[in-house]
Amino acid sequence: MRDIYIRPSWLVIVLILLTIIIFAFDYSAEPLRYEDSRQISQSSPEEQTTDLSQFPNSDENHKCFQCHGQSMYTYENTEQGRMVNQKMYSELIISPNEFYISNHRSFKCTDCHSEEYENFPHEGVLRMEYKYNCLDCHEGDESYAQYHFEEIDAEFQESVHSEKHSEDFTCWMCHDPHTYKINARTNENIRETIIYDNTICLDCHSDFRRFQLLTDRERPNLIKSHDWLPNQELHIASVRCIECHAEKVSDSLLIAHKVLPKSMAVRNCKECHSTRPELLASLYKYEAQEVRTQDGFFRGITTSDSVVIGASRNQTLNIISLIVFIGVIGGIAFHSILRILKK
């Protein structure tokens, strides 16, 4: 009967070894580094070489890009009878390479702008022309129903951007119609999606000139206002601003547009670092719909580029852990019964 009282320490050793092996495989992927994200953000469409002739209306648009597609332009001063080189204002420069990979790449410039712009010099009154917003073209259009423009607008109207700035804050404050492109739905690289979406926020919140267009408040110090966040650089490089600063209202929308006041921003770690993280409903929504099976491991896409505690699953480890747990409980129960019987 002596062997019965030997503790099953070998089970503990086996469990520890299995855990080490499994975690070695499970987290072998290189994590996202802040330096990587900075390198991605520094790449520029200006470096691309695009054959513009393949796009419809490229010949007509070329008339506009001759001036607005570069930092300098030349025109004839008929009054003085000479050619003049002029600097183009940076706000009026549109990269042809960026335009022809944007959502509106098939458009003519005059689809949205007055045909009077075909005359040079442009009349000053043209600056006052009405600027279309998303719903002017997309509202009620069944061909774009999958993007839920009406729901997006409803969320935006309840956002802090709309409530504080009213008509001054339009779709184009965040989505430049000349360069905006669908990203989260089509880009398989989560890192690039994060950089692309966060750049939209930082264009105003880190640029004092743009920030002052809407408010006379002092521009916030983003580093200081996020000093409560542990490992701040990694969080900023790995998560979009809207994951914490916007309310997820509808499951049909990939991007939340109801931006909340800063006092209502998420500060609860478990919202993301849990077995059912909020990130699966937004940033990783499309990737999470397909479960990956690799080397016998059942994994969610979330572990590819981010650390989400509890988001990984290993069926083998689960079964072994359950067997060991039952074995230990059974051993204790058997040991207790023997001791009772011996009394």
Decide if 322 contacts 16 (C-beta within 8 A): no
The residue behind tokens 């880009």 is 187
Contacts 24+ apart (CB under 8 A), 190-193: 190/283, 190/284, 190/287, 190/304, 190/305, 190/306, 191/32, 191/36, 191/37, 191/40, 191/305, 192/40, 193/240, 193/283
CA distance 189 to 304: 10
Least-confidence region, from 104-108, 267-271, 295-299: 295-299
Alpha helices in the chain, H assignment, sequence order = 9-26, 34-42, 58-68, 96-99, 134-138, 149-157, 160-165, 190-205, 208-211, 222-225, 232-238, 241-245, 285-288, 315-342
CA distance 120 to 192: 39
Q: Could you tell me which residue, 186 or 238, shows the higher pLDDT? A: 238
The C-alpha angle with vertex 173 and arms to 281 and 153, in degrees rounded to 5, equals 50
Reduced 3-state DSSP string for 228-276 = CCCCHHHHHHHCCHHHHHEECCCCCCCCCCEECCHHHCCCCHHHCCCCC
List CB contacts of 70: < 8 A, sequence separation 6 or more: 88, 93
Q: How far apart are the first and last CA of the chain?
A: 15
pLDDT per residue as tens digits for the range 78-132? 888 899 998 998 889 999 989 998 989 999 999 999 999 988 888 889 988 888 8
CA distance 256 to 245: 9
pLDDT per residue as tens digits for the range 216-232? 777 778 888 888 888 88
Query: What tokens were used for 20?
Result: 């080490």
Please state, in angstroms and as integers, the Cα–Cα distance from residue 59 to each residue in 50, 106, 341, following that order.
Answer: 14, 12, 96
Per-residue confidence band for 9, with pLDDT thresholds at 50, 70 and 90? low
CA distance 255 to 308: 20
Decide if 305 contacts 187 (C-beta within 8 A): no
**For the whole model, what pTM was predicted?**
0.62
Q: Could you tell me which residue, 343 or 69, shows the higher pLDDT? A: 69
pLDDT per residue as tens digits for the range 251-261? 777 788 889 88
Length of the chain in terms of residues written: 343
The residue behind tokens 């849990």 is 274
List CB contacts of 154: < 8 A, sequence separation 6 or more: none
The C-alpha angle with vertex 4 and arms to 3 and 6, in degrees rounded to 5, equals 70
pLDDT per residue as tens digits for the range 136-189? 888 888 888 888 889 889 899 889 888 888 777 888 888 899 998 887 777 777
The C-alpha angle with vertex 256 and arms to 101 and 208, in degrees rounded to 5, equals 70
The residue behind tokens 């409980």 is 329
